[in-house]
């Protein structure tokens, strides 16, 4: 799967001795379940503005956590002092929290069974650890990007940035599972900004390159054509600044994967998280219209809609070998032929709904740091392409009056995942099956099932792109997760388009 | 940086001193944050995930004078031993040596040790809920018996910050942050209500009162009214106003405004500082000493960007008026951006107050003065749509109520809205008294220290209907 090996500076850390101390202390206190996570997560952010390195920051989060089930309640505690005595003390604090919670827990906690994995390792697919590349080289690349963008007269300011993460986790529990894992992810980005001298209108044009679960080779091996995108962006910005405002109304949309991934994330990914459907996110992130009673009957979208959950796809941001409850990951169906057939869940929900996925978790527990408790987080949720060889040009050719949408920008959806509004980087008019220049100030607004029900066709495998995000927020206390979404270019009929200038009341 | 685990934890002050003594750069700043948190979370009338956390984060910023200026390097990490801090220092020194001159370079802030420098961190723990937790258990019982379902979260955090520099600064600050929020639903899950707020110590949070308020709000939903999209006379409670004003504040960077990229940009160049951007009598300000909203009184910056500079670490923060009597008076400035824009230095402060001259009374008073309109509870999933107008989109959530002849007469479906908070400050017709408030959208994780009034806006743009309940 990968040319990378476990980082020896992680394996040299005292994760095993701390885990043993914590689990033994929890066992002695009589818990029914205990698990231990030791994590080291390294981050580096570089930001360039107008050819100058504006900020560079390295950070590293090292610590451990103990989670227990005791007297039917969860208890959780975390610490950063890396001694066996402190690990045992943190286990005691977790039990203390469980005792407080037990007084108010009316539904005893149980978790689904999972086979034991005895000291297994997993490393994600990458070639070059970005942290092994000199920071000066990375800064030079970003500076070059911003300077190339600024050579065009339409570009007054340009930014470029690079987020990098290197994540190691060790998991152990009282049943005997021990997993050690490592993965890397990258998010390069650039943006060109300009103002039209005549109208005074300001706008920007960003990269549509997706973040990836890959190494530094993403910037160098041709997996994304950075040169072409850097050359194209300024002229696209210039055209956008001169473009007319869209006329609000109903349009057919051909949506590129660089925009559609985010609509999938918000209206399918979050809506099919079982913790939301069961009410466990009601106070914060919200619930879901896709309630459990609708499993197997909800017409989520048109018959060409097939969606999978997958924590195994190569280079996926949510891809991992074992989740944060020691569950081996897999792929499964969420929507088949337009009908809701599956959910994303963890071990406690697997126990609550034993009829789902053979009573097992499908590996969707994740904590973003050693200081946070694992919760149900999103798998890589992806829309499957057509088995036929359908190109983006084929889809555009089927539209008489519509818009071709490329790149993501603004996004918002309600707390049950019905009503959403998205904008994009660029919107091209489609007239009689041909692209006819950009329009601006566009947002599309719909209800989830109406929108997916209006999907007439999906593109073939050649149009499929694995997009995604670094920054999906959920839970209390808040946690951030990275997740990928693959999709083909797709055709939707009769979607409501707003003019955002009209919405602002400034025209 | 992690080769000597097993050594007992050192004090934060000793970690600062060790960093400053170890660095071989020309100057160095060390920031140590001791962070403790306790929380309870519940859903479906039962506790779900609960925990206590402890972390010690150390940031080392090294500065190296070189040809053409000064470069900096910033490295952060979990660290409780001198060996771990040494590794951070070596990495920061190396980063600074390898860097190019920083555009925001400035003389580091100088000073002495404050009187509380030697004090230990002030932790919190699960016992902060010793009074609240039993009452919450009782609230579960009451709610269950009455056919209500409760979902919520309480959190209490203490962050003790130590900032030291080779220029003599030794600053300490203890920041308590607490908040509570509870959503109530009827048994059929067709009605929803919310109550939430900020607290410094949980002595003022009553779980049973929280449940009683939710019961009252759910009762308002006995009559349900479906309304279409459109512009409505709308009362925004202080929590919703806080949601919107935080965005108005976060997008108030001076540099981006100066470069033409925000609602605070003057068409043709420069910022709108000095322009009337809101109704006369509107005041938006931040003040680290504001009673009840006390916030860190000095700059702490781990990296440089448009709105913060590592060179400004330790700079004293005072009251900054962003909008005074309707006029834009300041934007978020580092010393560097202040030089670019030729404006005073007004860095980010971690609280925000909106006051309106003559604003009196409560939400209930605004309701009493409304012939027909909507009363919102809170806003959700707020995102910027257009930077030049600061058009935001978002949803209403957990209670939109119909007001008729000064009384609440039922509940209304939710809406998606599209509005600009700056524009709203010109269009509102009535304002209440400013009170401590809590942003539903941003309060949990980012910004809990706000004081805002209720506002009545005659033509709030409800762009479409949301079926969410």
What is the reported pLDDT for B8?
Answer: 54
Listed residue (A182, A183, A133) closest to A162, CA to CA: A133
Domain that holds residue A178: 8-242
**Interchain pair B48, A97: CB under 8 A:** no
Clarify whether residues B244 and B163 are in a common domain: no
Count Cβ atoms within 10 A of the Cβ of residue B90 and give its class: 0-12 exposed, 13-18 middle, 19 or more buried. Answer: middle
For residues A190 and A206, what is the distance between their CA atoms, to the nearest angstrom? 6
Residue B333 included in any domain? yes
Task: Quote the number of domains for chain A.
Answer: 2
Give the one of A55, A373, A496 whose C-beta lies nearest to B304's C-beta. A55
Q: Chain A contacts of B305, Cβ < 8 Å? A: 47, 54-55
Confidence at residue A505, expressed as pLDDT on a 0 to 100 scale: 81
Question: Does A104 reach chain B within 8 Å, measured CB to CB?
Answer: yes
pLDDT tens digits, one per residue of A434-455? 999 999 999 999 999 999 999 9
Using the Cβ of B265 and the Cβ atoms of chain A, whether some distance falls under 8 Å is answered with yes
Q: Are residues A60 and A178 in the same domain?
A: yes
Q: CA B144, CA B135: separation in Å to the nearest integer?
A: 14
What are the C-alpha distances in Å from B336 to residues B309, B339, B345, B350? 8, 5, 9, 20
Do B212 and B242 belong to one domain?
A: no
Please report the pLDDT score of residue A107 as a whole number.
Answer: 86
Asked if the Cβ–Cβ distance from A59 to B76 is below 8 Å, we say yes
What is the average pLDDT across A178-193?
Answer: 98
Neighbouring C-beta atoms of residue A152, cutoff 10 Å: 17
Secondary structure, 3-state, B424-466:
HHHHCCEECCCEEECCCCCCCCCCCCEEECCEEEEEEEEEEEE
Residues B46 and B82 in one domain: yes
Among chain A residues, CA nearest to B92? A58
From chain A, pick out residues whose CB is under 8 angstroms from the CB of B37.
Answer: 477
CA distance B452 to B34: 30
CATH of the domain at B171: 3.30.2290.10
> Distance (Å) from the C-alpha of residue A165 to the closest C-alpha of chain B?
14
Same domain (yes/no): B253, B212? no
What does the angle CA B90 – CA B93 – CA B95 come to, to the nearest 5 degrees? 105
Q: What pLDDT does residue B6 have?
A: 45
Q: Are residues B439 and B347 in the same domain?
A: yes
Boundary-marking domain end, from B160, B184, B217: B217
A1 pLDDT tier (thresholds 50, 70, 90): very low
d(CA B167, CA B194): 49
Q: What is the DSSP string of A83-134?
A: SHHHHHHHHHHHHHHHHHHHTT-SS-----------SEEEE-S-SS-GGGS-
Q: Kindly state whether residues A166 and A206 are assigned to the same domain.
A: yes
How confident is the model at residue A104, as a pLDDT?
87
B49 and A193 in contact by Cβ < 8 A? Answer: no
Do A344 and A397 reside in the same domain of the chain? Answer: yes
Half-sphere exposure of B345 (CA within 13 A, CB side): 15
| DSSP letter (8 states) at residue A387 | S
pLDDT at res. B2: 32
Q: List chain B residues with CB under 8 Å of A136.
A: 98-99
Strands A401-413 and A249-255: parallel
Mutation target vs B (from A504, A506, A507; most B CBs, 10 A cutoff): A504
Extract the residue ranges of chain B whose pLDDT is less than 70.
1-9
Pairing between β-strand A157-173 and β-strand A465-474 as defined by DSSP bridges? unpaired
Question: Is there a single domain that holds both residue A103 and residue A55?
Answer: yes
Q: Per the domain annotation, does B3 fall within a domain?
A: no
pLDDT digits (tens, 9 = 90+) for A110-142: 999 999 999 999 999 999 999 999 999 999 999
Q: Is residue B6 part of a domain?
A: no
Task: Provide the whole-model pTM.
Answer: 0.97
A198, A222, A242 - which closes a domain: A242
pLDDT at A2: 52
Q: What is the pLDDT of residue B5?
A: 43
In a domain, B7, yes or no: no
The DSSP secondary structure of A194-262, one letter per residue, reads EE-TTT--EEEEE--PPPBS--GGGGTSSSS-HHHHHHHHHHHHHHHHHPPBPPPEEEEEEE-HHHHHH
- Whether residue B406 lies inside any domain: the answer is yes
Contacts of A204 in chain B (CB under 8 A): 261
pLDDT of residue A506: 56
Task: Tell me the shortest Cα–Cα distance from A391 to chain B, in angstroms.
Answer: 31
If asked whether residues B409 and B326 sit together in one domain, one would say: yes
Q: Which residues of B touch A77 (CB under 8 A)?
A: 51-53
Mind telling me how many Å the CA of A54 is from chain B's nearest CA? 6
* Residue that finishes a domain, picked among A209, A242, A275: A242
pLDDT in tens, A373-428: 999 999 999 999 999 999 999 999 999 999 999 999 999 999 999 999 999 999 99
The residue segments making up the domain with residue B150 are 12-217
Domain assignment present for residue A447? The answer is yes
The answer to whether the CB of A424 falls within 8 A of the CB of A259 is: yes
Residue from the list A101, A375, A419 with its beta carbon closest to the beta carbon of B50: A101
Closest CB to B50 among A75, A412, A500: A75
B167 and B227 assigned to the same domain: no
Last residue of one domain, picked from the residues B217, B245, B269: B217
Contact of B129 with chain A, judged by CB distance below 8 Å, is answered with yes
Tell me the pLDDT band of A105, cut-offs 50, 70 and 90: confident
- Give B401's strand partners: B375, B411
Put simply, the chain A residues between 253 and 292 with a CB less than 8 A from any chain B CB are: 278-284, 286-287, 289
- The answer as to whether A380 is a domain residue is yes
Q: What is the pLDDT of residue A222?
A: 85
Indicate the pairing of strand B230-236 with strand B372-386. parallel
Q: Which residue of B has its CA nearest to A282?
A: B151
Name residues whose C-beta falls within 8 Å of residue B468's C-beta, 6 or more positions apart in sequence: A286, A289, A414, A415, A416, A417, A418, A419, B395, B397, B414
**Domain end: B186, B217, B248, which one?**
B217
Instruction: Let me know whether A417 and A274 are in one domain.
Output: yes
Structure tokens at B152: 């919520």
Give the other-Cβ count within 10 Å of B323's Cβ: 23
Task: Tell me: do A380 and A270 sit in the same domain.
Answer: yes
Q: Residue A504's pLDDT is what?
A: 86
Give yes or no for residue A150 having a pLDDT over 60. Answer: yes
The per-residue pLDDT for A358 is 87
Burial of residue A328, with CB atoms counted within 10 A of its CB: 0-12 exposed, 13-18 middle, 19 or more buried: buried
User: How many structural domains is chain B composed of?
Assistant: 2
Beta bridge partners of B253: B332
**Rounded Cα gap, residues A128 and A174, in angstroms:** 35
Residues A336 and A226 in one domain: no
- pLDDT score for B9: 65
CA–CA distance, B178 with B449 (Å, rounded to integer): 10
* B76 and B178, same domain (yes or no): yes
Across chain A, mean pLDDT equals 96
- Residue B167 sits in the same domain as residue B195: yes
Suggest the residue from A136, A419, A495 to mutate for an interface test with chain B (most B CBs closer than 10 A): A419
Best B44, B47, B301, B310 member to test A by mutation, with max A CBs in 10 Å, is B47
Q: Are residues A280 and A371 in the same domain?
A: yes
CATH number of the domain at A192, please: 3.30.2290.10
Tell me the ipTM for this assembly. Answer: 0.96
From chain A, pick out residues whose CB is under 8 angstroms from the CB of B463. 421, 445, 498, 503
Note whether B281 and B149 are same-domain residues: no
Cβ neighbour number for residue A447 with a 10 Å cutoff: 20
């Amino acid at each position: 799967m990968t040319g990378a090996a476990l980082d020896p500076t992680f394996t040299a850390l005292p994760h095993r001795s701390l885990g043993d101390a914590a689990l033994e202390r929890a066992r002695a206190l009589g818990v029914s379940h205990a698990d231990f996570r030791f994590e080291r997560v390294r981050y580096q952010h570089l930001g360039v503005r107008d050819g100058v390195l504006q900020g560079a920051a390295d950070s590293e989060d090292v610590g451990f956590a103990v989670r227990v089930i005791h007297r039917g309640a969860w208890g959780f505690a975390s610490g950063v002092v890396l001694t066996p005595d402190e690990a045992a003390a943190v286990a005691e604090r977790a039990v203390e929290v469980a005792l407080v919670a037990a007084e108010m827990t009316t539904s005893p906690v149980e978790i689904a069974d999972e086979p034991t994995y005895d000291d297994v390792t997993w490393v994600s697919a990458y070639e070059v650890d970005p942290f092994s590349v000199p920071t000066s080289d990375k800064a030079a690349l970003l500076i070059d990007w911003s300077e190339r963008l600024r050579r065009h007269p339409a570009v007054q300011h340009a930014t470029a940035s690079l987020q990098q993460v290197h994540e190691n986790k060790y998991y152990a529990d009282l049943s005997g599972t021990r997993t050690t894992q490592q993965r890397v992810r990258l998010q390069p980005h650039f943006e060109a900004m300009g103002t039209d001298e005549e109208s005074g209108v300001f706008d920007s044009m960003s990269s549509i390159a997706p973040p990836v679960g890959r190494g530094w080779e993403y910037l160098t091996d041709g997996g994304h054509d950075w040169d072409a995108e850097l050359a194209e962006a300024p002229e696209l910005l210039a055209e956008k600044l001169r473009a007319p405002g869209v006329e609000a109304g109903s349009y057919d949309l051909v949506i590129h994967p660089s925009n559609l991934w985010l609509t999938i994330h918000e209206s399918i990914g979050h809506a099919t998280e079982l913790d939301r459907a069961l009410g466990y996110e009601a106070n914060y992130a919200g619930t879901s219209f896709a309630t459990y009673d609708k499993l197997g009957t909800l017409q989520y979208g048109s018959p060409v809609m097939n969606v999978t959950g997958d924590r195994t796809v190569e280079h996926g941001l949510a891809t991992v070998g074992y989740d944060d409850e020691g569950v081996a990951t897999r792929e499964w169906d969420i929507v088949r032929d337009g009908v809701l057939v599956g959910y994303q869940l963890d071990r406690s929900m697997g126990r609550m709904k034993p009829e789902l996925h053979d009573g097992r978790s499908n590996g969707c527990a994740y904590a973003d740091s050693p200081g946070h408790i694992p919760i149900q987080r999103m798998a890589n949720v992806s829309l499957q392409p057509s088995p036929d060889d359908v190109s983006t040009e084929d889809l555009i050719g089927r539209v008489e009056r519509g818009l071709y949408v490329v790149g993501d920008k603004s996004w918002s959806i309600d707390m049950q995942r019905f009503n959403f509004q998205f904008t994009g980087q660029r919107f091209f008019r489609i007239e009689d099956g041909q692209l006819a220049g950009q329009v601006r100030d566009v947002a599309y607004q719909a209800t989830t099932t109406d929108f997916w029900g209006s999907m007439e066709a999906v593109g073939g495998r050649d149009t499929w792109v694995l997009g995604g995000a670094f920054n999906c927020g959920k839970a209390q206390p808040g946690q951030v997760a990275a997740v990928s979404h693959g999709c083909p270019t797709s055709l939707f009929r009769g979607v409501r388009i707003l003019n955002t200038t009209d919405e602002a009341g400034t025209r | 940086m992690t080769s000597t685990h097993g050594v007992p934890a050192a004090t934060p002050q000793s970690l600062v001193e060790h960093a400053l003594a170890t660095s071989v750069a020309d100057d160095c700043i060390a920031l140590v944050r001791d962070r403790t948190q306790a929380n309870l979370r519940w859903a479906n009338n039962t506790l779900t995930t609960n925990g206590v956390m402890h972390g010690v984060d150390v940031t080392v910023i090294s500065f190296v004078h070189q040809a053409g200026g000064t470069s900096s390097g910033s490295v952060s990490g979990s660290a409780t031993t001198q060996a771990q801090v040494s590794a951070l220092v070596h990495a920061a020194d190396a980063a600074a040596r390898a860097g190019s001159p920083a555009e925001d370079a400035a003389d580091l802030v100088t000073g002495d040790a404050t009187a509380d420098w030697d004090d230990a961190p002030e932790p919190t723990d699960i016992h902060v809920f010793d009074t609240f937790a039993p009452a919450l258990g009782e609230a579960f019982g009451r709610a269950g018996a009455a056919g209500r379902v409760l979902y919520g979260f309480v959190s209490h955090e203490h962050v003790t910050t130590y900032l030291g520099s080779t220029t003599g600064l030794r600053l300490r600050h203890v920041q308590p942050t607490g908040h509570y929020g509870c959503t109530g639903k009827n048994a059929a899950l067709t009605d929803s209500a919310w109550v939430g707020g900020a607290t410094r110590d949980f002595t003022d949070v009553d779980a049973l009162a929280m449940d009683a308020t939710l019961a009252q709000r759910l009762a308002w939903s006995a009559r349900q009214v479906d309304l279409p999209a459109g512009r409505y006379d709308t009362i925004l409670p202080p929590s919703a106003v806080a949601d919107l004003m935080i965005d108005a504040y976060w997008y108030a960077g001076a540099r981006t405004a100066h470069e033409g990229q925000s609602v605070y940009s003057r068409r043709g160049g420069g910022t709108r500082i000095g322009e009337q951007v809101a109704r006369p009598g509107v005041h938006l300000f931040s003040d680290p000493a504001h009673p009840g909203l006390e916030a860190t009184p000095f700059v702490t910056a781990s990296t440089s960007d448009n709105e913060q500079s590592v060179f400004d670490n330790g700079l004293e923060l005072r009251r900054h008026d962003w909008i005074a009597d309707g006029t834009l008076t300041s934007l978020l400035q580092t010393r560097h951006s202040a030089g670019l824009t030729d404006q005073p230095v007004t860095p980010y402060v971690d609280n925000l107050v909106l006051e309106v001259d003559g604003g009196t009374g409560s939400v209930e008073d605004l309701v009493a003065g409304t012939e027909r309109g909507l009363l919102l509870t809170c806003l959700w999933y707020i995102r910027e749509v257009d930077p030049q107008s600061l058009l935001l989109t978002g949803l209403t959530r957990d209670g939109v109520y119909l007001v008729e002849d000064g009384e609440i007469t039922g509940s209304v479906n939710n809406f998606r809205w599209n509005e600009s908070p700056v524009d709203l400050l010109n269009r509102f017709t009535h304002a209440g008294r400013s009170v401590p408030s809590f942003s539903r959208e941003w309060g949990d994780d980012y910004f809990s220290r706000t004081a805002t009034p209720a506002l009545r806006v005659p033509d709030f743009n409800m762009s479409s209907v949301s079926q969410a309940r």
